[in-house]
């Protein structure tokens, strides 16, 4: 079975990793390299050591690293960023002139400057054909407008969460996980939308951080509404549980009493 040597490459500081074949180049972590992507030529940074993978692990065309970035490539990249900022201002002004309901996030050139991509968010479908015509008359290159989700929008803009820290998505989360209300319920978090949604309007990514620990701690705990035996009561109804302190609250003779988990006998487990 054939093997490939690949390296993970990121195109943004906190971005998704994409794997490319090393192409027999001597590549190290933090090397800037030039690769060809679906967008065109791009400059990326190697984020980890090279590794071997089997042919069976390759699910799409494995493209090679074209070269280690030269001083010319690095200068061009910086020049492109400056030019993209100028064109971002132009695009934002034209969006306002056309009265389009879209929020422009950023503008990025490919390394060879054959294409510029404008990223935006919008709650609705946007007809930006006239906008593209106006942009094309001012920017002499191929233009692409790409709509991204609200979480990607927050990641691009950055900000401070209500915890007082920088947004996780813009500081260390390379990819987004699926977050559900069930996770919040599992941790007995307040279901008030203002408490469990981030600046993107979606459920907080951090809800998943401790979810597995809470799920593991649920093992052996009686379900709320079930009946248990305690030192003072047979068949008491479980009112609440405290999985972190391994305690169970039950109703005993019209009062709520708390017991350690090892003091009760869960009838449903028999």
Give the separation between CA 27 and CA 5, rounded to whole angstroms. 11
Q: How far apart are CA 202 and CA 256, in angstroms?
A: 36
What are the domain boundaries of the chain?
Answer: 3-69, 74-148, 152-214, 227-269
Whole-number pLDDT of residue 238: 93
The pLDDT, as a whole number, for residue 165 is 92
pLDDT of residue 216: 92
CA–CA dist 39, 102 (Å, integer)? 22
CA distance 3 to 11: 25
Cβ atoms of 134 and 100 within 8 Å: the answer is no
Q: What pTM value is reported for the model? A: 0.77
Predicted pLDDT of residue 37: 94
Provide the residue-wise pLDDT of the chain in tens; the chain has 270 residues. Answer: 578 899 999 998 888 899 999 999 999 999 999 999 998 999 999 999 999 888 777 777 789 999 999 999 999 999 999 999 999 999 999 999 999 999 999 999 999 999 999 999 998 899 999 999 999 999 989 999 999 999 988 888 889 998 899 999 988 888 899 999 999 999 999 999 999 999 999 999 999 999 999 999 988 899 999 999 999 889 999 999 999 999 999 999 889 999 999 998 876 665
Angle, CA 58 vertex, CA 54 and CA 61 arms, to 5°: 135
> pLDDT value at position 26?
93
Q: Which CATH class is domain 74-148?
A: alpha beta
- Do the Cβ atoms of 52 and 21 come closer than 8 Å? no
């Amino acid at each position: 079975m054939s093997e490939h040597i690949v390296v993970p490459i990121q195109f943004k500081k906190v971005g998704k990793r994409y794997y490319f074949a090393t192409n027999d180049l001597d590549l190290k972590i933090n090397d800037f390299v030039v690769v060809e992507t679906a967008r065109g030529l791009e400059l990326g940074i190697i984020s980890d050591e090279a590794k071997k993978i089997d042919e069976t692990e390759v699910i799409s065309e494995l493209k090679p690293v074209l070269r280690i970035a030269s001083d010319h490539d690095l200068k061009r990249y910086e020049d492109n960023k400056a030019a993209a900022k100028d064109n971002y201002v132009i695009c934002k002004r034209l969006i306002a002139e056309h009265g389009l309901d879209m929020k422009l996030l950023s503008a990025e050139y490919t390394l060879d400057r054959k294409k510029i991509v404008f990223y935006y968010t919008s709650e609705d479908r946007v007809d930006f054909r006239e906008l593209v015509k106006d942009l094309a008359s001012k920017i002499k290159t191929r233009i692409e407008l790409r709509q991204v989700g609200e979480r990607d929008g927050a990641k691009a803009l950055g900000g401070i969460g209500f915890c007082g820290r920088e947004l996780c998505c813009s500081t260390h989360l390379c990819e987004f996980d699926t977050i559900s209300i069930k996770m919040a319920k599992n941790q007995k978090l307040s279901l008030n939308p203002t408490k469990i949604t981030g600046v993107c309007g979606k459920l907080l990514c951090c809800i998943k951080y401790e979810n597995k620990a809470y799920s593991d701690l649920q093992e052996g705990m009686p379900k709320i509404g079930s009946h248990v035996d305690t030192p003072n009561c047979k068949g008491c109804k479980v009112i609440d549980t405290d999985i972190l302190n391994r305690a169970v609250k039950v109703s005993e003779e019209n009062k709520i009493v708390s017991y350690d988990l090892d003091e009760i006998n869960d009838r449903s487990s028999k």
